[in-house]
Chain A
């Protein structure tokens, strides 16, 4: 069972704003879904041996970068070649 606090905590670490009205709805849905996921409890073992493609590398050869114009094109109000972001400190 997850609580509304659990959901609020996850919302905080994922920067997914969840307001009070949604918290109840999400919590109820999550418990139904997680209860379904509990079937995995009867699976033996954990992550196991990793599988998949192995040793795919590229050579250390320079490829043309995007133009600064293309890099900035999709950002809002770039300044002197920099991209703007909310202040972090």
Chain B
């Protein structure tokens, strides 16, 4: 039995690109619960733009696997949330549909690229939202907006229908105001899907309960190093002390591969993106090309006007990193560095159960503050290692610095989402 969901709230933060008309929902664990979906997740019959002009007007003829799961869980899908164009940003300011404001402080960016989802949850427009996390795009806005966001293990959630930015690293992740809601949404979207060749067949997630006592928590020195705002570091250190108070054992450690992580991440993600975004030529969907000759000019013209500057920058850099004569220097070395990151985590997880640190090195940026591209990229330094290694990571609010939210990041072993959710819940509820 389909029921109608009424949604008539204003959206002053520009969290949504599109709010659905005729919202319905059914029976199930999410019955009647409002959910926002990041606009890079395909929704049958609902325009899906990836925050880009080039996809304006594109109506997918199919649902992403997670959308099918949400529908059958009874969720009320409210709309498509704003994002950095194709997920390429840390502020949601590269969206073709205007920036999203941080509900905590409207002069600030919500973080990105899932900034619309975070803002929609934080401002109470929806109870749950789906984001996607390629290099921190769920955890960064969760941290900046003071909500919970989980990046699952690579292969845990089907990417079928997720519009690719960097296939080898991204996952769809749940976002919510608290850990229990986040775990609820996670339990609905996690699972094997044969249509995604990188999906992994594992048992369904176990229910979460606050558990932290006796767990070993590794704290890498690099997560509190250069570039990390001391006020943020202090807030996170206090949070880790609280985990110790709850019975966790804190183990100082190091992650030498961190110095390569950001470069490895950007080379890999830009390379994959440069290939993924080749298909946007206006022929089959999206903006219509002018039928001019030579045809390369038709394609160039539409990609020039349809893509924003940051997207074009990453396509160019990624193509360069893959091009003849440079692949060995950039793409191949990035894969070797990526292996070092995996090896570092494997070594650490032989000793500890969870690795903890700040989610972001700073609090939310001011809108328009983003200066040159490279300094923007540097903000992802603490989130990209989990994507490179494919391990799960969660950001949970842990207080404030400069009167703005700070996120505590907990990373776990492959497919140990239950463990980091339980630890985050123990932290949030102050009990173990």
The answer to whether A and B touch in the complex, with CB atoms under 8 Å apart, is: yes
Residues of chain A at the chain B interface (Cβ within 8 Å): 2, 6-7, 10-19, 22, 26, 29-30, 32-34, 36-37, 39-41, 43-48, 51-53, 56, 58, 66, 70-71, 73-77, 83-88
Complex interface: chain B residues within 8 A of A26 (CB): 313, 316
B420 CB within 8 Å of chain A: no
Q: Which residues of A lie under 8 Å from residue B155 when comparing CB positions?
A: 53
Cα-based distance from A40 to B288 in the complex (angstroms): 40
Q: Which of B200, B266, B320, B336 meets A48, CB within 8 Å?
A: B336
In the bound complex, residues from chain B placing their C-beta under 8 Å from that of A73 are 59, 61
- Whether A10 contacts B320 in the complex (CB less than 8 A), given A26-B313, A86-B293, comes out as yes
Does B312 belong to the interface (CB within 8 Å)? yes
CB within 8 Å of A: which residues of B? 57-59, 61-62, 155, 168, 194, 197-198, 200, 259-260, 262-264, 266-267, 274, 278, 281-286, 288-293, 295-296, 298-301, 303-304, 307, 309, 312-313, 315-317, 319-321, 323, 328-330, 332-337, 339-340, 342, 372-374, 377
| A11 with B316: CB separation less than 8 A | yes
For residue B283, which residues in chain A have a CB less than 8 angstroms away from its CB? Answer: 75, 83-86
Residues of A within 8 A of B59 (CB): 73-74
State in angstroms the CA–CA spacing of A34 and B58 once bound together.
35
Total A-B residue contacts, Cβ distance less than 8 Å:
150
Complex Cα gap A11–B317 (Å): 10
Add 4 more A-B contacts to A15-B281, A16-B316 (CB < 8 A).
A10-B316, A40-B330, A46-B328, A74-B284
Shortest distance between the CB of B136 and any CB in chain A (Å): 17
Distance of A33 Cα from B335 Cα, bound (Å)? 18
Known A-B contacts A10-B320, A14-B316; the reply to A86 vs B291 at CB < 8 A is: yes
A74 touches B58 (CB 8 A): yes
A85 to nearest B CB, angstroms? 5
> CA of A88 to CA of B292 in the docked complex: distance in angstroms?
10
Quick check: A87 and B332 within 8 Å, CB to CB? no
- Bound CA span A6–B319, Å: 11
Report which of A33, A45, A83, A88 forms a contact with B374, defined as CB distance below 8 A: A33
Which of B57, B317, B340: most chain A CB closer than 10 A? B317
Q: A18-B312, A40-B267 are in contact. Are A86 and B336 (CB under 8 A)?
A: no
Q: Is the CB of B304 within 8 A of A17?
A: yes
Q: Which B residues are in CB contact (< 8 Å) with A83?
A: 283-284
Q: Please, how many angstroms separate the alpha-carbon atoms of A46 and B334 in the complex?
A: 8
Contact assessment for A87 and B336 in the assembled complex, using a CB-CB cutoff below 8 Å: no
> B197–A14 contact, CB under 8 A?
no
> Would A47 and B313 be within 8 Å (CB), given that A14-B278, A29-B374, A86-B295 are in contact?
no
A-B contact pairs, 6 of them (CB 8 A): A2-B320, A33-B374, A40-B330, A46-B335, A73-B59, A86-B292
Residues on B with C-beta less than 8 A from A7 are 316
Q: List chain B residues, Cβ under 8 A from A6.
A: 320
With A and B bound together, what is the CA distance between A40 and B328 in angstroms?
11
* Contact among A16, A77, A86 for B312, CB-based, below 8 A: A16
The answer on a CB contact under 8 Å between B333 and A40 is: yes
7 smallest A-B Cβ distances: which pairs? Answer: A17-B304, A74-B285, A76-B288, A86-B295, A86-B298, A40-B333, A17-B300
- CB pair A29 B373 closer than 8 Å: yes
Verify B373–A15 contact, CB threshold 8 A. Answer: no
| Chain A, residue nearest B328 (CB) | A46
A39 touches B301 (CB 8 A): no
Cβ B303 vs Cβ A86 within 8 A? no
Contact across chains for B300 and A40 when beta carbons are under 8 A apart? no
* Contact assessment for A66 and B61 in the assembled complex, using a CB-CB cutoff below 8 Å: yes
Cβ-defined partner of B319 (8 Å) among A13, A32, A40, A45: A13
**Complex interface: chain A residues within 8 A of B290 (CB):** 86
Give Cα A6 to B323, complex, Å: 11
- Which has the most chain A C-beta neighbours within 10 Å: B168, B332, B340? B332
Q: Whose C-beta in chain A lies nearest to the C-beta of B342?
A: A51
Residues of B within 8 A of A53 (CB): 155, 197-198, 200
Instruction: Tell me if B329 and A41 are in contact (CB < 8 A).
Output: yes
In the complex, chain B residues whose CB is within 8 Å of the CB of A37: 263, 266-267, 321, 330
* A32 proximity list for chain B (CB < 8 A): 372, 374
Of chain A, the residue at the smallest CB distance from B301 is: A17
Known contacts A83-B283, A84-B283, A86-B291; A10 and B323 CB within 8 A of each other: yes
A51 to B340, CA, bound (A): 13
The CA of A18 and the CA of B315, in the complex, are separated in Å by 12
What are the residues of chain A within 8 A of B288 when measuring CB–CB? 76-77
Cβ-defined contact, A16 with B304, below 8 A: yes
- A40 with B263: CB separation less than 8 A: yes
Q: Is the CB of A46 within 8 A of B373?
A: no
